Structure 1
């Protein structure tokens, strides 16, 4: 069986237009924020469901009906299956992909796992993910897919564990390992590390938004557009930027 794991529903219609065969699995998570605790997978998913309920005012049953079943498709895949992971280069995508790989690493039997990046992107817009890619561009990305070897799985599992446990030192150490499966790994790991205050300095996203407010105005749409242009490496949507923006604005106007 061939599976295509898409990072969110936005890519589904474009992917279908390619005519590529295989079953679609949609990773409907946002693991760049919220509770990541849980010694077991059920504990982890329950904590995620609670976070979504508290943060977005959605009943936990919604998470179990729309998010969990997609991950269960991975866990229930038959031996010998092929998995193609369609993810961008940014932190949002990487966190979700590390989690998906942690699930796949525990599947028994042979399997083929590939990552499909938006390789058609030019250097200056690599953080834009797949966006409104044409069928031809998606086919090009698929043709350039990268196969995971055993060492890549081990690195992915270590990255997920360090990320999940907020072990920033370990994450930094892992980022120096070279793997074609994880391009821009040092930059992405450093971007995550920089989210946290250090030696009296605020986290990088807050500092960037403060700078934007000084130079570009206070309107949120302006701030979001400029933040995305400067810090596309995070892959933040407007929800994530809005939280940081509101916090900075509250500190400026207590």
Structure 2
């Protein structure tokens, strides 16, 4: 029975942990970060992967060979796994994972219709206020999560695919109106992930989004001694996004003109003024090549007092 299960996990650390715990079945690791860069709805198509490689090459200087070895080969392995009629998805509560999860479900809807699909999703454990990643669960906790995994109906899969289609559209406004209204959704962390996603559009107040403002705020309040300590603090504090050190490195680099030094971490006067909403930095940071899902990041503004998005019309 075990061999007839295919596990699709959110990363190598989860895959390795499950193998160490002797979970039976075969494993595919979904190595993507679809919460960053432009996405299109046709997960797995040639155009989809070309678009993703262009993003990684431009933003993270990833070579074609590395992209093939790390991501595409594993995806091709997934395409070849057709014999297992039960598929178990292993994803976490944060934005990084939730966007990958709905993309995988969109792919499964198209290419694995009629298969038995279930979800293991980590986050809160019992009455704890802390959120846990899958490899942070002890053996009993992970076995309990697996035993209580959520069986996904066709309607659930359709809903995940619908949210994915909206995420990839050229406007986030529709997503803003629908994400919180499916109270029967089995994806209990998806609404908070989408909420975090919408706050990644630049704010009206100073032109920076929630993540960028947190970076400046952390620099001022925590006074890190080095960039390594700085990134460590951001990783610890900002778990709703699920970003890794490379992503924070990239985002800090985008804001480098607002930093006086990185050893120790100190903002320029302009950096402090931006943080205090005395200066709007939108004009200096704006880029036509910056996307969140399918929409241009700088074509919309987030209004914090009302938690609403506004479209910029030219």
TM-score (norm 1): 0.88
How many angstroms does 1:79 deviate by? 6.7
User: How far off its partner does 1:39 sit?
Assistant: 5.7
Partner of 2:308: none
User: 2:10·2:29 contact (CA, 8 Å) conserved in 1?
Assistant: yes
Query: 2-side partners of 1:109 and 1:216: how far apart?
Result: 50
CA offsets 1:208-250 (integer angstroms, 9 cap, x no match)? 1111111111433333333234321000111111222233342
What pairs up with 1:21-100 in 2 under 5 angstroms? 21-37=24-40, 41-78=45-82, 81-100=85-104
Compare 110-119 and 64-73 and name the one that shifted more.
64-73
Please give the alpha-carbon distance, in whole angstroms, between the structure 1 residues aligned to 2:64 and 2:160. Answer: 28
Equivalent position of 1:251 in the other structure: 258
CA contact (8 A) 1:52 1:60 kept: no
Change (3 A) 1:35 1:208: same
- Separation of aligned partners in 2, 1:235 and 1:186: 15
Deviation at 1:9, TM superposition (A): 0.8
Residues 160 and 13 of structure 1: is their aligned pair in 2 closer, same or farther, counting only changes over 3 Å?
A: same
Partner of 1:107: 111
Indicate conservation of the 8 Å contact 1:91/1:235, yes or no. yes
The alpha-carbon distance between structure 1 residues 89 and 226, as it changes in their structure 2 partners (threshold 3 A), is: same
SS for the counterpart of 1:131 is helix
Aligned equivalents of 1:46 and 1:2: distance in 2?
A: 30
Distance in 1 separating the partners of 2:190 and 2:7: 23
More strand by share: 2
Q: Distance in 2 between matches of 1:135 and 1:11?
A: 12
Q: 1:120 to 1:210 in 2, by over 3 A?
A: closer
Which has the larger displacement, 222-231 or 187-196?
222-231
Equivalence for 1:231 = 238
Q: Which whole-Å CA distance do the structure 2 matches of 1:174 and 1:72 have between them?
A: 33
Give deviations 1:62-120, integer Å, cap 9, x for gaps: 32333123333444443771111110010000111111111100125421111111267
Alignment coverage as a number of residue pairs: 253
The answer to which structure has the higher helix fraction is: 1
Secondary structure at the aligned position of 2:28 is classed as: strand
Structure 1: which 5+ runs fail to align?
none
Instruction: Tell me which moved more, 18-27 or 107-116.
Output: 107-116
Distance in 2 (alpha carbons) for counterparts of 1:29 and 1:179: 28
CA RMSD of aligned residues (A): 2.4
With the length of structure 2 as denominator, give the TM-score of the two structures: 0.73
Q: 2:9 is matched with which residue? A: 6
Measure, in 1, the Cα distance between the counterparts of 2:223 and 2:41.
41
Q: Does 1:171 align with 2:175?
A: yes
Residue in structure 2 matched with residue 125 of structure 1 by the alignment? 130
CA offsets 1:37-60 (integer angstroms, 9 cap, x no match):
476721011111222233333322
* Worse-superposed segment, 99-108 or 188-197: 99-108
Given the alignment of the two structures, is residue 214 of structure 1 paired with residue 232 of structure 2, yes or no?
no
